[in-house]
Amino acid sequence: KAGVTQTPRYLIKTRGQQVTLSCSPISGHRSVSWYQQTPGQGLQFLFEYFSETQRNKGNFPGRFSGRQFSNSRSEMNVSTLELGDSALYLCASRSTEQFFGPGTRLTVL
């Protein structure tokens, strides 16, 4: 069974731009969660989608948004990028156990 995939793997943007990250979950998994990981903050939960509905949400500003499609694929969007948004963005899918994708490393210049 294929694992969680994320695209792109690396991204460089400038302040003020917006970015969209994509995640394809493990086949059969309907839950997709997004996390931000920075060296100083560890894993920070952004949001979780289940069957196209946002089920849980972390404490991030409204610039961070997401959605899930009927095939369970998910996208995350960050608008008006700030330098502090530079991080590894991880997607995870689960049934009972949660599995992570390889992540997208976003650098904001």
Site map for other proteins, 88-107, x if CB under 8 A?
x-x-x-x-xxxxxxxx----
Closest CA to 104 of 4, 1, 29: 4
Confirm if 48 and 31 have CB atoms less than 8 A apart: yes
Closest CA to 22 of 104, 82, 87: 104
**Residue 90 Cβ vs other proteins, minimum distance, rounded to whole Å:** 6
Residue 14 or 107 having the CB closest to other proteins: 107
Residue 43 or 109 having the CB closest to other proteins: 43
13 to 72, contacts with other proteins by CB under 8 A? 33, 42-43, 45, 48, 55-56
Check residue 11 for interaction with other proteins (CB under 8 A): no
Interacting residues of 54 by C-beta distance below 8 A, sequence separation 6+: 47, 48, 66
Amino acid at 38: T
Which stretches of the chain bind other proteins, using CB under 8 A? 33, 42-43, 45, 48, 55-56, 88, 90, 92, 94, 96-103
